[in-house]
Structure 1
Amino acid sequence: MPYLASTTPPPSTLVDAALPRGLRDRTAGMSWEAVLAAHGPTVGPLRLSGWKSSEPRHQGRRPWLGHRKFQATLAIGDLICNASVAAGGPVAALTEMLYEHGFPVEMLEFHQRDAGTQTVTFVHGSNGLRDEWAVGWDSDATQSALRAVVACANRVCA
């Protein structure tokens, strides 16, 4: 599934009550459409256009300690970069790749919710100077998380 595939945001009736407290506090009184416009995947210098991962490498009897190799194609403005790291999961891999390419973002909170046929991901991230919330969604939970992390990186590093 290509990362940039267009998906329609989930309807507010499936998400409104599920906003994490910090985001709910920041967006009090806003409609779901306004929340998405302010915190959703918006235009920014960073875009993710490709994503692949290998099977986990298990370490003995503790398979949860295995790392996978992740590869991404990042677009930063007009520059296209390929990145590759070994990490325990996709969010850790993407944040490491972003850091290496000048987008230091640490995930402070991570929430995922089912919304009909889609997964909505809410992330609260910081670059050490400011913190922001971001929202991503997709029919695939991993893609939803990646979209939210990219949106957060664009917001905190702007």
Structure 2
Amino acid sequence: MTILTLDTDMFHAAAPKGLRAESADLTAAQFHVRYCGHTGPIRLGDWSPAGSRSAEFTATLEFADHLRTVVATGNPVAAMTSALYEEGYPVEILQFHQRHTAAGTATFVQCECNGRRGWGAALSDDSAESTVRAMIAGVNRLGR
């Protein structure tokens, strides 16, 4: 995993219009805490490209009592949605926005899980990792 220095003002500015409106009263730092939070029932334990093709990846998800490794080729949204569903998190992605910034790829997803809706966001130098982290942030936010 690559650790990036986050320019929270830039990250907040990259958010889609609906999310910026929803979070208009938050500072950039508060936005990061609310939408990119790393607390909740699911954590990304490990991330790595699975092969020589950039569309392959391996993600290890940490749940309260076990680990699950997801190896996928292609679409990280489909792979994560399937894995989360099998773990009891029937998440649906309602909106997906990705922006390439000077700091990396910013991903914003609006999720619905068990009748609740909320946004998750993440930043990474790898677009697939950014997607996976945003999805986890969204599901964790809904689980609070």
Normalised TM-score (structure 2): 0.83
Judged with a 3 Å threshold, the aligned counterparts in structure 2 of structure 1 residues 18 and 7 are, in CA distance, closer, same or farther, namely closer
Does residue 131 in structure 1 map to residue 117 in structure 2? yes
For 1:48-72, what per-residue CA distance to the aligned partner results, in whole angstroms no more than 9, with x for missing partners? Answer: 223454678xxxxxxxxxxx87643
Partner of 1:60: none
For 1:2-48, what per-residue CA distance to the aligned partner results, in whole angstroms no more than 9, with x for missing partners? Answer: 3xx43332341x33433212211211121111101111132111012
Counterpart code for 1:154: N
Does residue 76 in structure 1 map to residue 73 in structure 2? no
> CA shift at 1:77, angstroms?
1.7
Does residue 10 in structure 1 map to residue 3 in structure 2? no
SS in 1 for 2:3: coil
Counterpart code for 1:42: H
Of structures 1 and 2, the larger Rg is shown by: 1
Does residue 33 in structure 1 map to residue 29 in structure 2? yes
Contact residue 104 and residue 157 of structure 1 kept, 8 A:
no
CA RMSD of aligned residues (A): 2.3
% same residue: 35
Question: Any unmatched runs of 5+ in structure 2?
Answer: none
Counterpart code for 2:22: R
> 2:57 and 2:128 mapped to 1: Cα distance?
13
Question: Any unmatched runs of 5+ in structure 1?
Answer: 57-67
**1:150 aligns with one of 119, 136, 141:** 136
SS in 2 for 1:113: strand
Counterpart code for 2:62: A
> 2:140 and 2:32 mapped to 1: Cα distance?
14
Contact residue 104 and residue 153 of structure 1 kept, 8 A:
no
Partner of 1:96: 82
Judged with a 3 Å threshold, the aligned counterparts in structure 2 of structure 1 residues 90 and 33 are, in CA distance, closer, same or farther, namely same
Normalised TM-score (structure 1): 0.77
Counterpart code for 1:111: H
Aligned residue pairs total: 142
Mapping 1:38-57, distance limit 5 Å? 38-51=34-47, 52-53=49-50
SS in 1 for 2:5: coil
SS in 2 for 1:133: strand
> 1:35 and 1:11 mapped to 2: Cα distance?
8
